Structures are given as structure tokens and as C-alpha cells.
A and B are shown apart, each in its own frame.
Chain A
């Protein structure tokens, strides 16, 4: 708490694709260290069961930095618990497939259970840098 990272969020059309763009500066000062945009997956308060799917596919473009996709599930009760996978951004749009079994647990010891997904987030985290990442489509793939 108390970090000083700053960010802006915008809905834009880039190279013909509608997208959500996250820009800002990640700062480690004051115990900070991330910026993120999160989307709810739970419906009517119930976690989403995506166990029939292999993983998350994200259409991404960015400034060449590495970003994370975070998943919160029914297993992640504490704010600092989540499952994450890294994505490398490029100047052009490209789809990135992130299989559920490749997500790593953070601050918990468990394997991701895709039957209870609650939230997905695109995150810039871990070091000081200028973040600029856009996601044009998020989906689960088989």
C-alpha cells in the first residue's frame, strides 16, 4: 500500500482493432510496484467455470516490455494471492495463448483450478518502467 505508480486507461482503436490500452509508469517507491486493469469473470457472484478450455488467449500489442496476465480464483482469498503468466509485447497485434497449466501461483501453494475463475487482469509489475500495453480481445480457447 502507498505506492506511487500512475496509470491511465482508455478504450481505443489501434490498427483497426478496438482495444483496452493501459499506459503509465510503474514505480517501486513506497513499496509500490504495479499498474493493472482488471476485468470481472464471475457472473451473478458466482465464479466462472472455464475448465472445458485450455487457457486464455489475448490479442496484445505494446512497447516491447513484458507484461503479466493475472487470474484470481476461488482459491485466492487474500489480495496478494493470484496466478500469473507472462506475455512479451510487440509493436504489432498478435495472439498469445496462455494455457491454464502454465499459470504460476503467487503467495499460495496450489495449482490453478479453472473451475472457479473470478477476475482476470493485465498487469505491468515488478520493475520500474514505462508501460504501454493494449489488449484487443480476451477469450478462453479449447
Chain B
């Protein structure tokens, strides 16, 4: 019984050590993702936005009333 208890205690101890270690590794991984992702993400989004919108529309005359002014001389 004591031997079994010791074995169980030992297992509990190992488990108790392993779980926090895994959590630390996981959190460290998340932290490293965030740390490496934050500064670059903004630039990538900007670059993507520039590529998606390569032009700036002045007018496509789809409205019935254009803000145009006729002039003659």
C-alpha cells in the first residue's frame, strides 16, 4: 500500500510538474506569436490595402447629378 501510495504520489508530482510546464511553453508560444506579429501586422494590412485599392476614384458619373461645371470662352 505504501509503495502504491508512493507511486501515485510520484505520478501526481510528475503530473503537477508537467502541466505547469506545458502551460508555460504554450503561453510563451502565444507571447512570441503576439510579439512577432504586432509590429508587422499593421504594415502588412497597409500593404494589402494599397494593393487592393490601387486607384482613387474621382468620379464614375454613376450619379444622376455630377458635380461638374461647364465653362466656355
Where the two chains meet, the residues of A that have a C-beta atom closer than 8 Å to any C-beta of B are 1, 3, 5-9, 11, 18-20, 22, 24, 32-41, 50, 53, 56-57, 120-121, 135-142
Contacts and interface: CB of A to CB of B under 8 A. Distances in A.
B7 to A, nearest CB: 70
Contacts of B57: 137-139
B38 interface: no
Contacts of B73: 1, 3, 5, 32-35
Given A18-B60, A136-B61, A38 B68 contact: yes
Given A6-B72, A32-B73, A38-B71, A138 B64 contact: no
B71 A39 contact: no
Nearest to A134: B61
Given A40-B67, A141-B55, A142-B50, A7 B61 contact: no
A141 B72 contact: no
27 contacts: A3-B72, A3-B73, A5-B73, A7-B72, A8-B70, A9-B70, A18-B62, A19-B61, A20-B61, A20-B66, A34-B72, A35-B70, A35-B71, A35-B72, A35-B73, A36-B72, A37-B70, A39-B67, A53-B55, A57-B55, A121-B71, A136-B61, A138-B59, A139-B57, A139-B58, A142-B54, A142-B55
Interface residues of B, number: 20
A25 B9 CA distance: 101
A53 B56 contact: yes
A141 B69 CA distance: 24
Contact of B54 (A40, A41, A141): A141
A106 to B, nearest CB: 14
B66 to A, nearest CB: 6
A52 to B, nearest CB: 8
Contacts of B71: 34-38, 121
Contacts of B60: 18, 136-138
Contact of A38 (B62, B64, B69): B69
